């Protein structure tokens, strides 16, 4: 944890940098340009947030470092635990002051004024998404027409008109329309999608418009019990708001593709059909999740809703906007199927590396794949048993654990090599397998 930053051209920093399974302390006189890169991603984000520096478009660590260096003059002289509380109190007073201008002071309690102001400040960022499917009305009509297929929610990511929503909202659509809070409707095209995370990005067509993007927060510091607010279009009822709390963290749900989505935020804020793709906000009005599904046999809200955390959203959305697809960070290995590995080393005993890709991070770290001995017998090289402190027993476990890191990060692995347990740190490079 960043304990103290001193003003001037140099600063004395004490850092507790934590990666699952790796903890180290750094204490040295540093210059900002040289040593911001030694901070963990979460620490960089905390500094940027404390200085009110927007970093939604940064998804690699080096971009966070560069943004911090460019805005160093905005940093407070020190950062400590009570800063967040002080800013929270200040923001509450500011929001309450804005709310007082919207409603008579004697008609609402202070906490009600605060919630009203939060809604008024964020409703311009929330949109209604209508997915369209092609249909041919008859043999005499050769040109296809578009008919509404499904509806959901979304929100404005940036001033360029990019809209974030759930993949399942536009999954089988050939086109889409986006309706803003003022009932103006625009055509939108698909910029990219990541079905495994149930996220998609649309781009509103047309000239420059006065878009108001949502404020983006971090989900890594969420706590069970803190207040959250969902804005969306449940059952087609535009601009609806629901309030609740964070009910659970680190949940796992099965996504639309059948793959597990991990580290999902659970909330009791009412999430109904039509809320999908809308923002889940904290009490400062910052995005901390994208509402994606409910747990309910009847299909209506039962007090158990789930949202994709904003840290995952930021990483995925930035890649979809830049590349049109997600470039996955990869170790640079191929692995044996789980059933094959279980027959060799036993069930849940780890993931057997089949091949190490030349030039990859795994190759640079010295990981070993399968090989043949002088008699032509297959010899096992490394069996991955943990990522940091997290045990892995399947290929899916390994992939999910690695996805929590960013491109360029060092991932701490524990591998079994013969009868020895070996520690390796592998730098994540772009996965050449896409």
**Per-residue model confidence as pLDDT tens digits over 341-361:** 888 888 888 999 999 999 899
User: What's the pLDDT tens digit per position in 273-298?
Assistant: 778 899 999 999 999 999 987 765 55
Picking from 86, 92, 326, 309, the residue whose alpha carbon sits closest to that of residue 218 is: 309
Check if 198 is active-site: yes
pTM to 2 decimals? 0.67
Please give the tally of structural domains in the chain: 3
Whether residues 287 and 341 fall in one domain? no
> Does residue 347 lie within any of the structural domains?
yes
User: What's the pLDDT tens digit per position in 393-408?
Assistant: 888 788 878 887 888 8
> What's the CATH code of the domain at 355?
2.30.42.10
Check if 106 is active-site: no
pLDDT of amino acid 207? 64
pLDDT at 2 > cutoff 60: no
CA dihedral 253, 254, 259, 263 (to 10 degrees): -10
pLDDT at 27 > cutoff 50: no
CA distance 367 to 390: 19
Least confident segment among 6-20, 61-75, 123-137, 171-185 = 6-20
Mean pLDDT to the nearest integer, 233-242: 78
CA distance 7 to 5: 7
**Which of these is catalytic: 276, 301, 310, 393?**
276
Whether residues 370 and 384 fall in one domain? yes
Residue ranges making up the domain that contains 23: 11-74
**Which of these is catalytic: 128, 153, 198, 240?**
198
> Does residue 166 lie within any of the structural domains?
no
Which domain-ending residue is among 323, 348, 373? 323
The string of DSSP codes covering 60-93 is SHHHHHHHHHHTGGGS-S---HHHHHHHHHHHHH
pLDDT at 4 > cutoff 50: no
Check if 128 is active-site: no
pLDDT at 15 > cutoff 70: no
3-class state of residue 186 by DSSP: strand
Between 168 and 141, the higher pLDDT residue: 168
Mean pLDDT to the nearest integer, 329-335: 87
**Which of these is catalytic: 168, 218, 310, 311?**
168
Q: Mean pLDDT highest for which of 7-16, 92-101, 241-250?
A: 241-250
The mean of the pLDDT values for the chain is 79
| pLDDT level of residue 34 (50, 70, 90 thresholds) | very low
CA distance 228 to 286: 10
Q: Return all residues near 134 (Cβ < 8 A) that are at least 6 apart.
A: 144, 145, 146, 174, 175
Judge whether 398 and 431 are in contact, CB under 8 Å: no
Least confident segment among 74-78, 110-114, 184-188, 334-338 = 74-78
Whether residues 339 and 426 fall in one domain? yes
Which domain-ending residue is among 285, 304, 323? 323
Which domain-ending residue is among 323, 357, 389? 323
pLDDT of amino acid 118? 94
> Does residue 207 lie within any of the structural domains?
no
| pLDDT level of residue 142 (50, 70, 90 thresholds) | very low
Q: How many CB atoms lie within 10 A of CB 188?
A: 28
């Amino acid at each position: 944890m960043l304990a103290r930053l001193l003003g001037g051209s140099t600063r004395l920093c004490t850092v507790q940098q934590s990666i699952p399974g790796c903890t180290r302390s750094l204490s040295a006189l540093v210059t900002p340009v040289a040593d911001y890169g030694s901070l963990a991603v979460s620490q960089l984000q905390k500094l940027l947030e404390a200085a009110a520096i927007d970093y939604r478009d940064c998804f690699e660590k080096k971009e966070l470092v560069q943004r911090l260096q460019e805005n160093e003059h905005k940093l407070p002289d020190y950062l400590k635990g009570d800063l967040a509380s002080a800013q929270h109190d200040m923001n509450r007073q500011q929001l309450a002051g804005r709310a007082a201008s919207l409603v008579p002071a004697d008609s609402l309690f202070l906490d009600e004024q605060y919630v009203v102001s939060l809604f008024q400040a964020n409703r311009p960022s929330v949109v209604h998404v209508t997915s369209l499917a092609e249909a041919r009305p008859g043999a005499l009509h050769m040109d296809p027409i578009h008919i509404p297929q499904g509806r959901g929610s979304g929100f404005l990511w940036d001033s360029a008109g990019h809209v974030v929503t759930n993949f399942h909202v536009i999954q089988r659509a050939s086109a889409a329309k986006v309706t803003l809070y003022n009932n103006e409707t625009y055509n939108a095209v698909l910029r990219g999608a990541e079905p495994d995370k149930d996220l998609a990005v649309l781009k509103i067509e047309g000239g420059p418009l006065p878009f108001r993007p949502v404020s983006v927060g971090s989900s890594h510091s969420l706590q069970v019990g803190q207040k959250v607010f969902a804005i969306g279009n449940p059952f087609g009822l535009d601009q609806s708001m629901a309030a609740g709390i964070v009910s659970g963290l680190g949940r796992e749900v099965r996504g639309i593709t059948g793959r597990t989505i991990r580290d999902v935020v659970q909330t009791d804020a009412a999430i109904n059909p039509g809320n999908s793709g809308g923002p889940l906000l904290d009490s400062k009005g910052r995005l901390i999740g994208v509402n994606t599904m409910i747990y309910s046999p009847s299909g209506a809200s039962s007090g158990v809703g789930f949202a994709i955390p904003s840290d995952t959203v930021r990483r995925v959305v930035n890649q979809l906007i830049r590349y049109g697809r997600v470039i996955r960070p990869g170790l640079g290995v191929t692995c044996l199927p789980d059933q094959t590995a279980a027959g060799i080393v036993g069930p849940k005993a780890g993931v057997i590396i089949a091949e190490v890709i030349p030039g990859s991070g795994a190759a640079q770290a010295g990981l070993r794949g399968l090989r043949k001995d002088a008699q032509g017998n297959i010899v096992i090289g490394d069996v991955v048993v943990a990522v940091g402190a997290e045990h892995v027993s399947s290929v899916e476990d390994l992939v999910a654990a690695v996805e929590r890191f960013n491109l360029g990060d060092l991932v701490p692995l524990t591998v079994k090599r013969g009868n020895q347990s070996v520690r390796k740190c592998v730098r994540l490079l772009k996965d050449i397998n896409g």
